[in-house]
Amino acid sequence: MKHVYSFPIALIASAAMFIACSDDATLTHVESYESQHDHSFEVNTGSSETIITSSETQITSSEALPVSSADVVTSSSSVAGPVTYTYYGAELSGRDQFKYGRFEARMKMVSIPGSVSSMFLYYDDSWMKDTYVWNEIDIEVLGKGGTMWQSNIITREGDPSIKSNTSSESKPLHEFGFDATEDFHLYAIVWTPEYVAWEIDSVEIRRDTLGMSRGTHADADQVAFLTETQSLRFNLWASKSAGWVGKFTGDELADGPKEQVIDYVRVYAYDEATKTFTQSWQDDFDGDDLSDHWGVGNWEMEKVELSSLNVVVEGGFCKLRLSREAN
């Protein structure tokens, strides 16, 4: 903020008269100056950030003013104190458990620096690590732009000595050929014992099959290692990994939340004997609340807290919100 101090002509005239009439007048001259500070940093407190914004100060004064308690104008510039925010994301967590199937969702996604907007299958105990295996299949629109997306399988053996997961992230990222944040498109994950496939608008973009090997552990054949039942989930959150998704600042949330909007979800069962899919159910989110197929996330997810309040059903859509709240 710039503070400019000036003095009325009458005051300057009075000062001049005073100088003319007084030989022992004491004068001060305040030089004009500009002080600019640009401090920005993050304090990682789980899901909050502390940001000190930049400020400017400028003082301009007239020359030859007498030192007098009545005439000297003093000022102090103030720098705004730290502004802190808590950031909230959302997760729609499926209650049903699946072993293979076809999973579709018509969605409009989110992409701001640092964000992850996703649809995925997940073995619910994967996070426990130790002797629990990790099974996961992802579609993710990342914070580097709404025209790109990432497909991925994540696995890990149930061996406490193994600390890292095996990931098969799509590199480079897939190109949509459109901006996924501007309109609705159909996303699909297809999971069978023989292959995993990813589709956009009913067009297969990637297929991983049995026998494809990654790494040296028992989960190197990832398709074969997807042995656990998984739930269908959707989430919107902010990552600490700037190299992966861009640096999250939260500035894009100043005007309100960002929303990943789900129009409908369809689930198909897979028949291993006939190798065909049959629709099991569809959720159009027509009511005022979630159906029995869903729960919501309420845990910390890197830079955000997942909040049940950020999963909203209205107007025939399920909306996952990324938002901030001043502390």
| Residue numbers annotated as active site | 136, 140
Residue 112: which residues within 8 A CB-CB, separation 6 or more? 143, 248, 252, 253, 258, 322
Distance (Å, whole) CA 61 – CA 6: 6
Per DSSP, the residues of 141-177 read: EETT-TTEEEEEEEEE-S-TT--S-EE---SSPEE-S
Nearest residue to 97 (alpha-carbon basis) of 230, 239, 7, 225: 230
**72 token code pair:** 């000297």
Question: What is the per-residue DSSP string for 246-283?
Answer: ----SGGGTTS-EEEEEEEEEEEEEETTTTEEEEEEEE
Distances in Å between the alpha carbon of 116 and those of 172, 229, 230, 271?
17, 24, 20, 33
The helix (H) or strand (E) run that includes residue 13 is helix 9-21
59: helix, strand or coil: strand
Structure tokens at 47: 């899901």
Residue whose structure tokens are 């950020």: 310
Radius of gyration of the CA atoms of the chain, in A: 30
The H or E element spanning position 222 is helix 222-225
